[in-house]
Amino acid sequence: MEQFTNYKLDLSLIEIGLFFTSYSFFLIICIKYKNPFLNQVRSYNMGKMILLCVMVCIFFLLYMVWEAFRNRIIEHTLFFPDLPNSFSGKRVFFISDIHRRIIPQQLIDQIESKVDYVIIGGDLTEKGVPLSKTKENLTLLTSMGPTFFVWGNNDYEVDLTKFRHLLNELNVKILENQSETLFFDEKEQVNLIGIGEVSFELDDINKALRTVDSTAFNIICCHNPRILSKIKSSPSTRLFLCGHTHGGQINFFGKGIYPVGKLYHLPLYDVLISNGYGTTKLPMRFWAKSEVHLITLKRGERKTISRAKVSELSKFQNEIGTKI
């Protein structure tokens, strides 16, 4: 299940904006080229048309800023036939690419049920963000449950000594090419594996998987989804969590510098590539909504997977491999 808030409202706002933008440009073209079939159009004052265009542009700018600061929780229920029975029903809160945003208490309050684990998928901060702001965000996140962190490329822009100290102070487990056991009994085990930042060549897959039981149920988190093209085979991995791309951040109807993030159901595992919570450079978003994820893991049969979904992810991997 995926829950989208105010989706219909978003579409109506976009449609209204597109209508006025198209209509304004249509009138300007008609006036400029003096279309003989549109005598009434020529009577319009060009200044009014320009003003209308400016107003529409302002509308879109305000919409993109509003979209960038929305709180949007997407709920996923994922089924795996080999998930340990004792772990079925566990809930994971996944957030990535916070950057400069402040997490409000209202976002945490929207999550009614208990969260068992919090995973931060990198870019918790960036250059210019006060450590005090990062501490506020971390304090809220750690109040939800045991918290784990993997590095993103922008995290390296701050004072690493102070940043590491803050993470340790708030009992955030840093996963740098290593694993953490979330559940263990005599027969079953669930591991969370964190892999280093790919763009800085800090990823070491062999090290990360060295102590991992090949029969365990494993979740891999890496900030950069390019890791997917590096892990050739990992038979016991059932879920990948990534961020980094922001879904292109400003993405015109599916066309942007990166594809819009999504959840991929593949034959043996699922891949979640998040649009992220914050923004970088410009505090704006379009068609790539900010998001956090509430994932419920359950034991059960997986859905039938089409070849199209496999091809879709392969295409995504090819795109990000040449751009990131």
pTM of this prediction exceeds 0.85: no
Please state the domain extents for the chain: 7-68, 73-323
The CATH topology of domain 73-323 is Purple Acid Phosphatase; chain A, domain 2 (3.60.21)
Q: Beta strand pairing status for 217-222 and 178-184?
A: unpaired
Ranked by mean pLDDT, which of 1-10, 276-285, 304-313 comes out on top? 276-285
From CA 160, how far away is CA 202, in angstroms rounded? 15
Going by pLDDT thresholds of 50, 70 and 90, the confidence category of residue 164 is: very high
- Sequence-separated (6 or more) residues with CB below 8 Å from residue 43: none
Phi and psi dihedrals of 221, rounded to 5? -120, 125
The pLDDT tens digits of the residues spanning 212-225 come to 888 899 999 999 99
**Structure confidence at residue 266 (pLDDT):** 83
Angle between helices 46-68 and 7-33 (to 10 degrees): 160
From CA 75, how far away is CA 102, in angstroms rounded? 21
In the block, residue with structure tokens 């590491």? 164
